[in-house]
Amino acid sequence: MEKIEVELLSLIENNSNLEIEKIAKMIDRSEEETRELIRKLEEEKAILGYSAVIDWSKVHNYEGVTAMIDVKVQPARGVGFDKVAERIYRFPEVKAVYLMSGAYDLSVSIEARTMLEIGKFVSEKLSVLDSVLSTTTHFVLKKYKHDGIIFDNDNDDKRIVVSP
Amino acid sequence: MTSFVSQRIQELKPSGIRRFFDLASQMENVISLGVGEPDFVTPWNVIEASYHSLEQGYTAYTANAGLIELREEVSKYLKNQYEAVYQPQNEVIITVGASQAIDIALRAVLNPGDEVVVVAPSFVSYAPAVELAGGVPVMLYTDPDDKFKLRPDQLENVITKKTKAIMICSPNNPTGTVLSRDELIAISEVIEKYNLLVLSDEIYAELTYDEEYSSFASLPGVKERTILISGFSKAFAMTGWRLGYAAGPQDIIAAMTKIHQYTIMCAPTMAQYGALEALRNGKKAVQDMKKSYKQRRNFVVKTFNEIGLSCDMPGGAFYVFPSIRETGLSSDEFAEQLLKEEKVAVVPGNVFGENGEGHIRCSYAASLQQLDLALKKIEKFIGKRI
């Protein structure tokens, strides 16, 4: 991958909302070239989507519960952990699935409206899968930082207005 | 009652920035492009190292010249980054910001009436610092149409029998102009010919975007007549820590240490431990900030040119110095009217020397959102005047 593409990707990763016009100026390319670069990176699936990090606790009636579930799995012949991982990540309430080294195999992040909903997901959908040997559910009590973004960050510019 | 204030201080002109700061600070919700410091906070590992030093009980004085470990790291850093070789034991001193290094360097070398060439536009403190040290600043006005580059013949023209030193800042505050190695070599020939000392302010050296930075002290035969001044404020986003350093010939550093010892004693200990961490493990943070500054520089320069204010692409620092001549306003009028009408603070170019007239200094050490908004407001402002 070219240096300019990496620069463009890190710009978009930090702010997927950036307008083409601004990106073009920042990376010193024309708007047309920039649009073409983005199209190519999307086609190569280097860019998979554009999302925002939302602090839902700030939105009335939208607060939810997040849980991290450690899952021990019996890998299947020929496909290892991939098949069971797919069966898990296809559930819409599942936000992330990672294959882990260490005490357990899969780390599953799930979001729901209530603890009860998470309990139902674990007992009715996750634990009943053939390959799943055990689960341990950890509830998130408070989000401090997510995807590199600090929640409740004091971003105020503390500098004086004019300085030497 | 007569004033007790000394005549020298009474005659010292107040900084033009001060007047503008007073004006801007009375207003609310100002978007500031007037700030000469990074908008990033100090890298966390540096803050952590400073906390840790306090926890460990390092709250006493250090050696006058600074922690020897820090001077050793400064020496390594100067050698690795800029091929400038200095002995940590006697050729490096840790100071309270680069500003104090400038002050004690001038006081260490000037006799009353000695002339110091100040290459302008320049940082507002240079000429007053020369005066405070009993010297006479001689302003050398570089040409805006030559991208404010210092040319050897211009230097030769202002040298007299009283000229002792020249102060150079590259990358420059406020123009962002960077002198290439070849340009420095050409200037150094004049400096050697007239046996001058160089105060080389290299505080923005890390923030050079398009070509590799050359330090004056790395030129053959020049190190012996150079005081290299730098610090942690700009590259490591540590302005409030007030930590700088100077490297130079042993006798000058000893003289500077003597003044430092009788006035400051030593730089703050916890800041020195923070700086130690910055040099040992701060490279990645510097590179990340530099990358961001470069992107913002590109954005700001291109936008200024699009909206009708001609602006050169500066090679370093985090300032642009666009021309405002098209508006027919003086730089003071432009900055004041812009502040009052659009609540955008920029610094009038004339405060950096008379050849800065017709320009404004805009810092792009601000978030992209703020830069974008400020530029839209400047566009609206000049739309009424061009």
Q: What is the pLDDT of residues A108-133, one digit of tens each?
A: 999 999 999 999 999 999 999 999 99
| Residue A164 contacts B where some CB pair is shorter than 8 Å | yes
What is the spatial distance between Cα A93 and Cα A87, in angstroms, rounded to a whole number? 12
Of B120, B66, B124, B72, residue with least CA distance to B261: B66
Q: Find chain B residues with C-beta within 8 A of A163's C-beta.
A: 17, 21, 34-37
Between CA B117 and CA B53 the distance in angstroms is 41
Residue B386: band (very low, low, confident or very high) from pLDDT cuts 50, 70, 90: confident
- In this prediction, what percent of chain B has a pLDDT beyond 90? 94
What are the strands, taking DSSP E only, across B263-330?
319-320
Q: Does A47 touch chain B (CB under 8 A)?
A: no
From the list B278, B282, B262, B280, the residue with the least C-alpha distance to B270 is: B278
End-to-end CA distance of chain B: 51
Q: Which residue type is seen at B203?
A: I
**Looking at beta carbons, which residues of chain A come within 8 Å of B30?**
161
B322: pLDDT strictly greater than 90: yes
Q: CB-based contacts of A90: which residues, under 8 Å, 6+ apart?
A: none
Span B234-254, average pLDDT = 98
| Interval B143-173: pLDDT, tens | 999 999 999 999 999 999 999 999 999 999 9
Please tell me the predicted confidence (pLDDT) of residue B335: 96
> In this structure, what DSSP letter does residue A52 have?
-
- A162 and B295 within 8 Å at the Cβ level: the answer is no
Q: Which residues pair with B165 in a beta bridge?
A: B116, B197
B-chain residue closest to A157, CA distance: B39
pLDDT (average), residues A135-156 = 90
Each residue of B325-358: pLDDT tens digit? 999 999 999 999 999 999 999 999 999 999 999 9
pLDDT of A155 higher than 80: no
Residue A145 contacts B, CB cutoff 8 Å: no
The encoded tokens of residue B366 equal 């601000």
Tell me the per-residue pLDDT of B6-22, one tens digit each, with 9 for 90 and over. Answer: 999 999 988 888 888 88
For the stretch A32-73, pLDDT in tens is 999 999 999 999 999 999 999 998 888 888 889 999 999 999
How far is Cα B144 from Cα B307, in angstroms, rounded to an integer?
20
Q: What is the pLDDT of residues B263-321, one digit of tens each?
A: 999 999 999 999 999 999 999 999 999 999 999 999 999 999 999 999 999 999 999 99
Pseudo-torsion of CA B118, B120, B122, B128, nearest 10°? 40
Amino acid B320: pLDDT: 98
According to the model, what pLDDT value does residue A121 have?
97
Structure confidence at residue B356 (pLDDT): 97
B25-29, B84-88, B316-320, B346-350: the lowest-pLDDT one: B25-29
The reply to whether A7 touches chain B by the CB within 8 Å rule is yes
Task: Determine the pLDDT at residue A56.
Answer: 87
pLDDT at B221: 87
pLDDT of B1 higher than 90: no
* Intra-chain end-to-end CA distance of chain A, in Å: 41
Residue B37 and residue A159: Cβ atoms within 8 Å? Answer: yes
A150 at interface of B, judged by CB pairs closer than 8 A: no
How remote is the C-alpha of B90 from its chain's centroid? 24
CA distances from B362 to A114, B36, B294, B328 (A): 51, 9, 14, 19
pLDDT value, residue B385: 87
Instruction: Determine the pLDDT at residue A105.
Output: 97
pLDDT digits (tens, 9 = 90+) for B175-220: 999 999 999 999 999 999 999 999 999 999 999 999 999 999 999 8
Best mutation target, B32, B44, B233, B295, to test chain A (most A CBs within 10 A): B295
DSSP letters spanning A103-155: S-SEEEEEEESSHHHHHHIIIIIITTSTTEEEEEEEE----SEETTEETT---
pLDDT at B57 over 90: yes
Does pLDDT of A154 surpass 80? Answer: no
CB A41 within 8 A of CB A5: yes
pLDDT, residue A137, reads 98
| Average pLDDT, integer, range A79-104 | 95
Distance CA B290, CA B296 (A): 10
Q: What is the DSSP letter of B87?
A: -
A129 at interface of B, judged by CB pairs closer than 8 A: no
Task: Evaluate if residue A153 carries a pLDDT over 80.
Answer: no
For residues B223-236, give the mean pLDDT: 97
